Amino acid sequence: MQAGFQVPLKAKRLVSEFYLFLVVLLFILAVSDLMVGVSNDAVNFLNSAIGSKVAPRHIIMIVASIGIIVGATFSSGMMEVARKGIFVPDNFAFAEIMVIFLAVMITDIILLDFFNTFGMPTSTTVSIVFELLGAACAVALFKTLSEGGSLGTIVEYINISQALTIIAGIFLSVLVAFSVGVLVQYLSRALLSFQYERRLKGIGALWAGLALTAIGYFILIKGLKGASFVSDAAYAYVREHSVLILVLSFVVWSALLQLLLTLFKINVLRLVVLFGTFALAMAFAGNDLVNFIGVPIAGFESFLLWQNSGRDATDFTMEALNQPVRTSTILLLLAGLIMVVTLWLSKKARTVTETEVNLGRQDEGAERFAPNALARWLVRAALSGSRLLQAAIPQNWLTALDKRFRPLRQAMERNDRDSNPPAFDLVRASVNLTVASILISFATSVKLPLSTTYVSFMVAMGASLADRAWGRDSASYRVAGVLNVITGWLFTALIAFGCAFLFAALVYYFSIWAVAALLLLATGLIIRTFWLHKSRERENAAERSSLQAAETTGGAALLHETSDAAAASLVAVRKAYTEVVAALEGEDRRQLRRVRQDVAALRKQNDRLQRSLYRSLQRLRDRESSDGRLLLLIYELEQDLLLNATLVAEHSLDHVDNAHLPLQEFQVATLARLQQLIASYLSFIIDQLQAKEFGAAALDKLASDKQRIFAVIEDAIAQQVSGLQNGQISARNSKLFFALLLKTKNLTAIGARFVKILHRAREDSPRLLLKMENTGV
C-alpha cells in the first residue's frame, strides 16, 4: 500500500499545489490552536496578579501582553520539539509527515477547546507531546503492516529516550513544584506574617530584591536560550557569568527598592507581582508557542524541502528535519499578536483563570468541586500528621507561629464589605511567581523539559496549603479540586494519544476525505462548546449576582430577598408537580427527566445561596439577630420543599423508566384532583409571600385548604390499601402511589409552615415585617 495521501493526480504541479493547500490548512489550524491554547495557558501568568488584585485588570493585561510579545521572539529554539523531539524524521516520508501533522493539529484544537469550556487548566506541552507520539505511532504501525515488517520495528520510528525524558520531566515537576511551593510560602509567611506592610519597612527591599533577582535571572536563562536574534556566544556569556549577574542584580534591585520604599512609600510587592507576571507571560510565549505553531512551521519546512528535492512525496524521507532552523522573527511576532488579541477577548480564558484562583483563595465561599473519598482520606491523613508534628514542637513556638499565620481582623472585615475581595494577598502572589520562575529557569538551564502549566498550578496550590487557605471547612473541597485537575492532566495525555492515533489512521487510509470529515467534526464541536460555554457563563453570571447580593445586603434587604426566593421556589415546585402528574399519566420519560433536572438545579442554587447567607449573618448587627433566625428557617423550609419535589419526580421516573404498569383510573383521577388543589394552595402562599401579608385570615384559609388536601390524600390511601388487600393493585403500583401521596402531604405541610413562621414573626416583632414591606427589591 502506498503511504500517506493517495492523490489521484499525476501532474507534478497539481500534486505540489495539493500539498501547499495542506500546509496552508496547517497554518489556519495554527491560528485556531493559538486561540484555544492561550485561553487555557493564560492561567499560568494571570493567576497571581488577578487573584491578589495587584492592579486594575487592564494594567495586568497590558503587562502580560508585553511579556507575550517579548517572549514570542524567544521561541525559535523550542521549535525542535515538533521537528524531531518525539519521532525520528529519517524514517518517515514527506506524505507521512503531513498525515502526522494534520492529525496533531486537529486533535489539539478539539482537546484544548473542550478543557477551556469547562474551565479546567491543562498542559499544552503534554497535549502536543502525546499527540505527536500518538500520530507517529499510528503512521509507523500502518506503514510497518503495509510493508510486511515486524511490529517490533515500530520503536525505530519513535525517539523513545527523548519522549520518556520529556514525559518524566513533566510529571516529576508536579511533585517538585508543590513541595517547593509549600516550603517557600511557609517560610515567607513566617517571616512576613499577614501584617507584612509593617515588616516591609525593615526587610521588604531585601526580600523583594531577592525575588526580582530570581525572576530577572529566569528571564535571561529562559528568554535568551534559542532566541531568534541572540547569538550563541551571548547566551554562553550569560551562563558563564551567572553568579556575578545574580550578585549584581540582587545589590542593584535591593538598593533601588529601598529607595522607592523610603522616598515614595511604594509597596514593593506590587512591583514583584507585576514583574513576575511579565516574566511568566514571556516564558509562556517562549516555551509554549511551539505547541501551537511548531507543527505548521515544521510542515512548511518539510514542504519546501520536498518541493526542492523533485522526488515523489511517498519516497522523500525527512532527514533534513534533524538540522536546526531559525524561525523568522516576523512570524513569531505575528503569532504573539494573535495570542495577545485572544488574551483580551477570550471569555474562556477568564473561566480557566477563575478555577485556579478559587482553589487558592484565602477565605471560604461556594466551592466548585465536590469532595471525594480520596480527598477526604488525604485530609484526614494530613490532620493526623499535623497532630504528630505539633506534639513534637514546643507550645510557645506554635503560639508564635500561629499569630503570624492569622489574617488580620481588619483585613477580614474589609473583605466582608467588598463584594469581590482579593483571593489572597501580595505575599502569596509574589511567592507563586518567584518560585515558578526559579523552577522553570533551573529546569531550562539543565535542559530538563517541564510543563509551565503544571509548575505554575502546583506552586500556587502548595502555597495555598502552606498559607492555611485550605482550612478544615474547605480542605476536602479544595483537595478534590486539585485531584480533579490532576486527573484531567492524565486524561489529557491519554485522550491526546488516542485521538491523534485514530485521526492519523483515518487520514492515512482515507486521505483528503478524512481530513474534510475531521475538519467538519472539529468545527461542529467548537460551535457546540461555544454555545455551551455561553450558556454556562449566563448561568454563572446570574448566580454570582445573586450570591453577591446575598452577601452584601443588610438585614432588611436580605429578608426581602429571602422572601422573594421562597416565593420563586414555590413557583418552581408548583410547575414541577403539574408536569410530573401530566408526564406520569402519559408515561413521558423525557419530561420526567427534565423536571428532575430542573428541581435538582434549583436545590443546588439554593444550597449555594444558603452558604452565602451564613456569610451575611456574620455581618448582621446584634439587633438584627432575629432576622437571621427567620432567614435560616425559611431557607431550611425551602430545602425540604425542593427535596420532596425531587423525590416526587424521582419516584415517578423510576416507575416509568422500568416500564411498570401504568396507574389505574382512580389513581390518575386522584392525582389530577390533588394537582388542582396543590396548584391553588401554593398560588395562595406565593401571593402572601409576594404581598407580605401574613394575617390571621390568611392562616384560617390556609388551614382550611390544607385539610381539604389532607382529606383527599387520606381517602386515596384508604382506597389504595383496600385494592392492595384485594389483589387488584400490585405492590410496585402501591409503592409509587403511596410515595406520591405522602410527598404531596409533606409539600402541603411545608407550604403552610412558610406562612406560619412569618405570621409568628409578625406577632412577635412587627418590626421585621415592617422592614420587609418598606424594603425595595
Concatenated DSSP letters of 626-647: HHHHHHHHHHHHHHHHHHHHHH
Please give the biggest Cα pair distance in the chain: 99
- DSSP annotation of 87: B
Grid coordinates in use for 81? 520539539
| Residue type for position 658 | N
List Cα–Cα distances, 213 to 341, 436, 682, in angstroms: 30, 13, 67
Taking CA 44 as the corner, what is the angle to CA 38 and CA 47, rounded to the nearest 5 degrees?
A: 110
Is residue 325 within 8 A of residue 114, CB to CB? The reply is no
User: Given a cut of 50, is residue 291 above it in pLDDT?
Assistant: yes
Residue 749: closest CA among 691, 689, 697, 682: 682
Output the pLDDT for position 773. 47
C-alpha to C-alpha distance for 154 and 146, rounded to whole angstroms: 13
pLDDT, tens digit (0-9, with 9 covering 90-100), for 112-136? 888 877 777 777 778 888 888 889 8
C-alpha to C-alpha distance for 459 and 372, rounded to whole angstroms: 23
Output the pLDDT for position 499. 92
User: Given a cut of 50, is residue 262 above it in pLDDT?
Assistant: yes
Grid coordinates in use for 62? 497590558
User: Given a cut of 50, is residue 403 above it in pLDDT?
Assistant: yes
Is residue 342 within 8 A of residue 38, CB to CB? The reply is yes
Going by C-beta distance under 8 Å and a sequence separation of 6 or more, which residues neighbour residue 383? Answer: 472
At 581, give phi and psi (nearest 5°).
-60, -45
C-alpha to C-alpha distance for 433 and 214, rounded to whole angstroms: 10
Can you name the residues that pair with 158 across neighbouring β-strands?
Answer: 87
Can you name the residues that pair with 449 across neighbouring β-strands?
Answer: none
Question: What value does the mean pLDDT take over residues 423-427?
Answer: 84
Is residue 414 within 8 A of residue 194, CB to CB? The reply is no
Across 249-253, 399-403, 418-422, 603-607, least confident range = 418-422
DSSP assignments along 177-203, one per residue: HHHHHHHHHHHHHHHH-S-HHHHIIII
C-alpha to C-alpha distance for 96 and 98, rounded to whole angstroms: 5
Is residue 768 within 8 A of residue 762, CB to CB? The reply is yes
Grid cell 554562553 in the structure block, residue: 236
447: left (phi over 0), alpha (psi -120 to 50) or beta: left
Output the pLDDT for position 666. 85
pLDDT, tens digit (0-9, with 9 covering 90-100), for 44-87? 778 888 888 888 988 998 998 998 888 777 665 444 554 456 77
765: left (phi over 0), alpha (psi -120 to 50) or beta: beta
More confident residue, 292 or 621: 292
Share of the chain above pLDDT 90, in %: 2
Output the pLDDT for position 7. 45
Output the pLDDT for position 641. 83
Question: What value does the mean pLDDT take over residues 460-479?
Answer: 82
C-alpha to C-alpha distance for 124 and 35, rounded to whole angstroms: 12
At 93, give phi and psi (nearest 5°).
-80, 165
Is residue 95 within 8 A of residue 309, CB to CB? The reply is no
C-alpha to C-alpha distance for 334 and 28, rounded to whole angstroms: 13
Is residue 445 within 8 A of residue 269, CB to CB? The reply is no
pLDDT, tens digit (0-9, with 9 covering 90-100), for 405-416? 777 654 544 444
List Cα–Cα distances, 723 to 67, 195, 660, 734, in angstroms: 78, 74, 17, 9
Angle between helices 555-586 and 625-657 (to 10 degrees): 10
pLDDT, tens digit (0-9, with 9 covering 90-100), for 500-523? 999 999 988 888 888 888 889 888
Taking CA 209 as the corner, what is the angle to CA 208 and CA 212, rounded to the nearest 5 degrees?
A: 85
User: Given a cut of 80, is residue 38 above it in pLDDT?
Assistant: no
Can you name the residues that pair with 317 across neighbouring β-strands?
Answer: 93
Grid coordinates in use for 548? 453577591
C-alpha to C-alpha distance for 545 and 319, rounded to whole angstroms: 59
Output the pLDDT for position 498. 92
C-alpha to C-alpha distance for 768 and 758, rounded to whole angstroms: 9
Question: What value does the mean pLDDT take over residues 476-484?
Answer: 83
pLDDT, tens digit (0-9, with 9 covering 90-100), for 345-386? 877 666 666 766 776 676 665 666 778 888 888 888 888 887
Q: How far apart are the first and last CA of the chain?
A: 74
Grid cell 495525555 in the structure block, residue: 493
Grid coordinates in use for 718? 384508604
Q: How crowded is residue 208: how many other Cβ atoms within 10 Å of its Cβ?
A: 28
pLDDT, tens digit (0-9, with 9 covering 90-100), for 531-573? 776 776 666 555 555 545 544 444 455 556 666 777 778 888 8
C-alpha to C-alpha distance for 321 and 299, rounded to whole angstroms: 10
| Residue type for position 638 | E
C-alpha to C-alpha distance for 402 and 182, rounded to whole angstroms: 16
List Cα–Cα distances, 405 to 196, 398, 476, in angstroms: 11, 10, 20
Output the pLDDT for position 84. 53
Residue 485: closest CA among 613, 590, 355, 576: 355
Q: How many CA atoms lie within 13 A of 663 on its CB side?
A: 25
User: Given a cut of 50, is residue 157 above it in pLDDT?
Assistant: yes
pLDDT, tens digit (0-9, with 9 covering 90-100), for 167-200? 777 778 888 898 999 999 888 888 888 877 777 7
pLDDT, tens digit (0-9, with 9 covering 90-100), for 300-345? 888 888 888 777 777 787 777 776 655 667 777 888 888 888 888 8
List Cα–Cα distances, 665 to 518, 585, 589, 651, 670, in angstroms: 53, 10, 20, 19, 9
Q: How crowded is residue 383: how many other Cβ atoms within 10 Å of its Cβ?
A: 11
For the chain, give me the number of helices (H) and strands (E)?
26, 0
In the predicted model, what is the mean pLDDT of the chain?
Answer: 77
Output the pLDDT for position 627. 59
Can you name the residues that pair with 222 across neighbouring β-strands?
Answer: none
pLDDT-based confidence at residue 451 (cuts at 50, 70, 90): confident
User: Given a cut of 70, is residue 205 above it in pLDDT?
Assistant: yes
Is residue 411 within 8 A of residue 194, CB to CB? The reply is yes
Output the pLDDT for position 264. 81
Can you name the residues that pair with 87 across neighbouring β-strands?
Answer: 158
List Cα–Cα distances, 335 to 184, 267, 348, in angstroms: 35, 35, 19
487: left (phi over 0), alpha (psi -120 to 50) or beta: alpha
- Coil, helix or strand for 771? helix
pLDDT, tens digit (0-9, with 9 covering 90-100), for 17-31? 777 888 888 888 888
3-state SS string for 702-737: HHHHHHHHHHHHHHHHHHHHHHHHCCCCCHHHHHHH
Output the pLDDT for position 47. 82
At 313, give phi and psi (nearest 5°).
-65, -25
What is the length of the chain? 777
C-alpha to C-alpha distance for 742 and 720, rounded to whole angstroms: 13
593-601 contacts: CB < 8 A, separation 24 or more? Answer: 593/653, 595/649, 596/646, 596/649, 596/650, 596/653, 598/572, 599/572, 599/573, 599/642, 599/645, 599/646, 599/649, 600/646
Is residue 454 within 8 A of residue 170, CB to CB? The reply is yes
Grid coordinates in use for 356? 485556579
C-alpha to C-alpha distance for 733 and 472, rounded to whole angstroms: 46
Question: What value does the mean pLDDT take over residues 752-761?
Answer: 74
pLDDT, tens digit (0-9, with 9 covering 90-100), for 613-657? 665 565 555 445 555 666 677 777 877 888 888 888 888 888 888
Distance of CA 732 to the CA centre of its chain: 43
C-alpha to C-alpha distance for 15 and 98, rounded to whole angstroms: 13
Q: pTM of the full predicted structure?
A: 0.72
pLDDT, tens digit (0-9, with 9 covering 90-100), for 663-680? 888 888 888 898 899 889
